[in-house]
Chain A
Amino acid sequence: MSEFPALTQEEFRRLCEFLYRRTGMVFTEAKRYYVERRVVERMLETGCGSFSNYFSQLRADTRGEIEQIINAFTVNETYFYREDHQLQCLTADLLPNRIRKKSQGEPIRIWSAPCATGEEPYSIAMWLLENWPLVDDYEIEIIGADIDTAVLEAARQGVFGKRALMRLSPYLIAKYFSQVAEDKWQILDDLRGSVRFGEVNIVAPGETRPYGQFDVIFCRNVLIYFDDTSRRIAAENLYENLLPGGFICLGHTESMSRISSLFEVSRFTDAIVYQRPDQHR
């Protein structure tokens, strides 16, 4: 790493502006060391002898370099109760809003896509059981979907390591998991039975349709990886999968407003989310 000089001020700014526009990730001067370290790692990995060469490769997305640098800057792991301010928003604002429009007996449908190994949909189930007083009054359907069949199988098994559980209290772990090995915990059958999983590619036009329409969709930290056309296809798919007035939660660096004009921004105390308009405009 020492064979590469640090980025100049101008190179740093150029890179940060590109990353913001392409991915929504914001880096200020305070994060300079963090950014430099990862960029130099990528330069070494790609064999680029100068920042200029590396930046050209990044802009052209040669050999998927944009995905590589996003991975270098993001936490490539999922865990229970990640970004739980959105779960707080779910029970404080989104569900109360949705049930006002529901007739008796109509279920609440929540979709986690992509769901990876299941931490997110199981988190939603646990959060509702723990934090929503009306949870017994409604039928709530939670579905996890992902393009990767291997992670879906892991999600169905529901066995997690210590890191995945790091945000959960001992109370929650004791209540919803059984320890199956020294560092392995499995979601209890009851909770596993409350989430179903299926395969989906959210950038394939129409492929999401068979899942039906949802009240709330969690689609976090995936749009950031797609090119512009794929993002627009995904946005149209997700629009179709939302009930009129339904909400979509994205990752904290993602903005639907920069992808599509199909949704309206909804600002709540705990989170900014996007809403399918009740009426077509």
Chain B
Amino acid sequence: MPLIRKPVTDTRAQGLPTVDVLRGLASADAEERWVAARAAPEVEGGADALVTALRTESDARVREAMLTSLARINSSASVEAILALLRSDDASVRSGALETLRVMGSAMREHLPRLLSDADSDVRLLSCEITRGLPGAEATRLLCDLLVRENQVNVCGAAIEVLAEVGQAEALPVLAQCETRFRDTPFLVFAIKMATDRILAQSTRHV
């Protein structure tokens, strides 16, 4: 039979190769930086080293590994480091940062009010998506706070779409007010109706 078999290697005791994370993150070789980025959460000082390296990392693959490692560390410091990337001129860096913030869940919560008030409408829009992972009452409160003051239609659309999934009855008057303000914007009127119907359906049915 041409198919071959080799002895089984015990893999359990092994893991990421032992690397000098600090040196690896500063290496000129992207492969070394990738390995160091993945190993960083396991070493003392790894989070700070990642934060520093992330500011200058130009390789998208290594940057993704750094962001994943910061998500694993999931500390307030790692959130702050990723928040700084939201100001990047590179759209892929901004969206990678927001996607990472989305997966970080609980560590993100305290930063959401600030993000939802950010001067940059892209940040506000993508932050709406992050609220989707919160308990319904908390997400409803944050999104309603945003909707009462928000003038950018795409940001409103993003908030309303999330409310359609997680929104509670407290959102209904805010949605009605929003509908009045944006009555000349058909896609928002449609989205508000859908969200309202779903919240009403949930609010009126208990077994």
Given the known interface contacts A52-B202, A59-B166, A209-B15, the answer about A233 and B72 at a Cβ–Cβ threshold of 8 Å is yes
The residue on A at minimum CB distance from B95 is A261
> Is A204 touching B15 in the complex (CB atoms < 8 A)?
yes
> Is A14 touching B164 in the complex (CB atoms < 8 A)?
yes
Fill in one digit per residue for A126-139: 1 if any B CB lies within 8 Å of its CB, else 0.
00110000011111
Fill in one digit per residue for B185-204: 1 if any A CB lies within 8 Å of its CB, else 0.
00000000000011011110
Distance, CA A191 to CA B166, complexed state (A): 52
Distance, CA A261 to CA B93, complexed state (A): 12
Q: Which of A11, A128, A206 has its CB near the most chain B CB atoms (within 10 A)?
A: A206
Given the known interface contacts A18-B165, A206-B38, A209-B16, the answer about A196 and B64 at a Cβ–Cβ threshold of 8 Å is no
Given the known interface contacts A59-B166, A199-B11, the answer about A232 and B2 at a Cβ–Cβ threshold of 8 Å is no
> Is A200 touching B11 in the complex (CB atoms < 8 A)?
yes
> Is A13 touching B64 in the complex (CB atoms < 8 A)?
no
- Nearest chain B CB to A244 CB, angstrom units: 11
> Is B72 touching A135 in the complex (CB atoms < 8 A)?
no
Given the known interface contacts A206-B16, A236-B68, the answer about A196 and B202 at a Cβ–Cβ threshold of 8 Å is no
Number of contacts between A and B (CB, 8 Å)?
143
> Is B165 touching A140 in the complex (CB atoms < 8 A)?
no
The residue on A at minimum CB distance from B99 is A228
Given the known interface contacts A200-B11, A207-B11, the answer about A229 and B6 at a Cβ–Cβ threshold of 8 Å is no
> Is A198 touching B9 in the complex (CB atoms < 8 A)?
yes
> Is A191 touching B1 in the complex (CB atoms < 8 A)?
yes
Indicate if A105 sits at the interface (CB-CB under 8 A): no
Indicate if B25 sits at the interface (CB-CB under 8 A): no
Given the known interface contacts A190-B1, A205-B16, the answer about A229 and B9 at a Cβ–Cβ threshold of 8 Å is no
Residues of A within 8 A of B64 (CB): 232, 236, 260-262
Which residues of B are interface residues toward A (Cβ below 8 A)? Answer: 1-12, 14-17, 30-31, 38-39, 41-42, 59-61, 64-65, 68, 71-72, 74, 96, 102-104, 135-136, 164-166, 197-198, 200-203, 205-207
3 nearest interchain CB pairs? A206-B16, A194-B3, A228-B103
17 extra A-B contacts, CB within 8 A, seeds A205-B39, A207-B11, A229-B71:
A11-B201, A14-B202, A18-B165, A49-B207, A56-B135, A60-B135, A107-B4, A129-B1, A139-B2, A196-B5, A199-B11, A205-B15, A206-B17, A210-B11, A233-B68, A260-B64, A280-B59
